[in-house]
Amino acid sequence: MATHAKPQRIESFQTHPNQYKHWRLEFDGGVANLIMDIKEENGMRPDDYVLKQNSYDMGVDMELADATERLRFEHPEVRAVVVTSAQPKVFCAGANIKMLASSEHGFKVNFCRFTNETRCGMEDATHNSGQVYIAALNGTAAGGGYELALACEKIYLIDDGASVVSLPEVPLLGVLPGTGGLTRLVDKRTVRRDIADVFCTKAEGWRARDALKFELIDGSFARSEWQTGIAKVAAEAVAANPARATEGITLHPIAVEIGENESRAYEHVKLNIDADGRVCTLIIKAPTSPAPANAAALMAEGCKTWSMATFRQLEDAIFHLRFNHPNVGLILLKTEGDAGLVLAHDKLIQDNQDDWFARELALYQSRVLRRCDNSARSQFALIDEGSCFVGSLFELSLTSDRTYMLEDEDEEVTIQISAASGGIFPMSTGITRLAARFPRNDDKVQAALEAGAVAGPDAFDLGVVTMAPDDIDWDDEIRIAVEERLSLSPDALTGMEQNLRFVGAENCDSKIFGRLTAWQNWIFQRPNAVGDDGALTLYGHPTRPKFDFRRT
């Protein structure tokens, strides 16, 4: 009875509104309507499943992720984003169950990670970009459909006597809501945990009256009042948020050349894959031209400016590593080029945070850095001749599990920690990566920020690199470290890394990603969910699942 799990390669993570199959963007002044209208036969694996009832797969969410980014950069005039459905009586049935059942374990987890990042991006847009997301549930929102609504600032459900909100994963599928539903219920919406317990085990969900009573939604309108009611809510959000600008920039496609062994060469990023060795080298190149003169010149360059182009290319490389190269267990991170130019480009952005585009660009860089934090790969930063680990690129080294820095006699190999590490790029926990490196030790954080350009021994003494071998030991140290890392259990490493990367108090975002890595990863492999008689395997069949009722 079990469905054969299939690998799924994704050739491109890029799309554009004129290529969307499942979403529409419509604009009315300061309001953007983001309309879900999923085409059943246009799933990414149409031979395996049909996207019924506005259920979604990776292709649907890639379009959603693209739309949320374009709204921030291309439409700064938008202050309210209404997320709704074009299909009557159904908002969204969540992630397509047959897609999940027929996918390999790694794909399921990476799919959940991607959808989580998309929804965190929606919340980030609400809180930091003045684009308030409003869920207009014109029909039932089940599972991931309600989780999508939970990522919005406000949720309104049509009161038609039939439409409900529900999180039925536990009773129907034997798994957990994979996109932060449990955490957002109690942490974000502050639903009482006993009420959340009842809700999450009640497969049929709650209609508008009870959903409003228990604070699962913010309001409801009868069908006759639906359009005017949602329009009023959106207008209020627009009035409460001043427009950042009247014109945005254009997000052009990312150019890439595919080479031998599926290497990827972008303008500022290069990804070299050693599939047999289960390691890749990720090289970030410094700018080759001066920083724009001011904020206006920065916007004129748009997405082609080094600070944005580089991070867009890095993000694309991360996606390909996650989904298309599951056997690569270790990333060797390198940089090359003029460190002074990196610092100049950084400074322009940091000095112009009152400009909408410079601010939005810093927020985007921050999101990409968090994708590095949340990727299930070991990462070592290697700082040697020609490196430019300064400013934002040194911040990238802080996403690594270890940093090796060459000690050279002439002290030409240096790093420089700038304001880029002082708070402009917070982790999912809300603290800086330096604060995570030196927990409850503000003196060490401040010493690092004030150190200026330092060579290997001083960087080691500051605690901002792991080891600083000299040129005699460098090659052997790196070789041994790589060999040792690749000999360890990948499952244990994923768990270890995610535990060690997120230091300090948790918040809603860090709980979502931490629990995804641990509990959902574990549950997705358990026989009660995916065995021959598991609930996810047998969903839609007349046969009831058979559970092993032992608690572990």
Alpha-carbon span 200 to 471, nearest angstrom: 58
Low-confidence ranges of the chain (pLDDT < 50): 1-3
- Asked whether residue 515 is domain-assigned, the answer is no
pLDDT attached to residue 191: 97
Q: Tell me what pLDDT residue 410 has.
A: 87
Same domain, 321 and 197: no
Inside any domain, residue 152: yes
Q: Are residues 214 and 341 in the same domain?
A: no
Question: What's the N-to-C CA distance of the chain in angstroms?
Answer: 26
In a domain, 532, yes or no: no
Cβ count near 239 (within 10 Å): 11
DSSP helix/strand/coil, 429: coil
The answer to whether residue 526 sits within a structural domain is no
| Same domain, residue pair 278 and 425 | yes
Do 459 and 425 lie in one domain? The reply is: yes
DSSP tag of 416:
E
Position 133 in a domain: yes
Same-domain check for residues 58 and 162: yes
Per the structure block, which two tokens stand in for 271?
């990804």
- Please tell me whether residues 41 and 133 are part of one structural domain: yes
Please indicate, yes or no, whether residues 358 and 230 belong to a single structural domain of this protein. no
Answer with the one of 457, 473, 495 that is the final residue of a domain: 495
Q: CA 414, 415, 418: angle at the middle one, nearest 5?
A: 145
Asked whether residue 126 is domain-assigned, the answer is yes
Q: How many domains does the chain have?
A: 2
Q: At residue 74, what is the residue type?
A: E
How many angstroms separate the CA atoms of 47 and 42, rounded? 10
Predicted local distance difference test score (pLDDT) of residue 502: 87
Claim to verify: residue 68 and residue 206 sit in the same structural domain: yes
Q: Sign (positive/negative) of CA torsion 311, 313, 317, 322? A: positive
Residue 221 contacts by C-beta under 8 Å, 6 or more apart in sequence? 156, 158, 159, 229, 230
Residue 228 amino acid letter: T
> 113 and 36 in one domain?
yes
Residue after which a domain boundary falls, among 495, 510, 529: 495
Same domain for 420 and 286: yes
Select from 452, 469, 495 the last residue of a domain: 495
Containing structural domain, residue 301: 259-495
Helices (H), 338-421: 339-351, 356-373, 391-397
551: exposed, middle or buried (Cβ count in 10 Å: 0-12, 13-18, 19+): exposed
Instruction: Please report the pLDDT score of residue 2 as a whole number.
Output: 43
CATH number of residue 50's parent domain: 3.90.226.10
**Six token digits for residue 444:** 């060490």
Q: Are residues 213 and 317 in the same domain?
A: no
294-313 pLDDT, tens digit per residue, is 999 999 999 999 999 999 99
Within a domain: 80: yes
DSSP 191-244: --HHHHHHHHT-TT-B-HHHHHHTTSSSEEEEGGGHHHHHHHHHHHHHHHS--S
User: To which H or E segment does residue 67 belong?
Assistant: helix 58-74
3-state secondary structure (DSSP) of residue 120: helix
Torsion sign (Cα): 528, 533, 536, 540: negative
Residues 196 and 273 in one domain: no
What DSSP designation does 422 have?
T
**Would residue 381 count as lying in a domain?**
yes
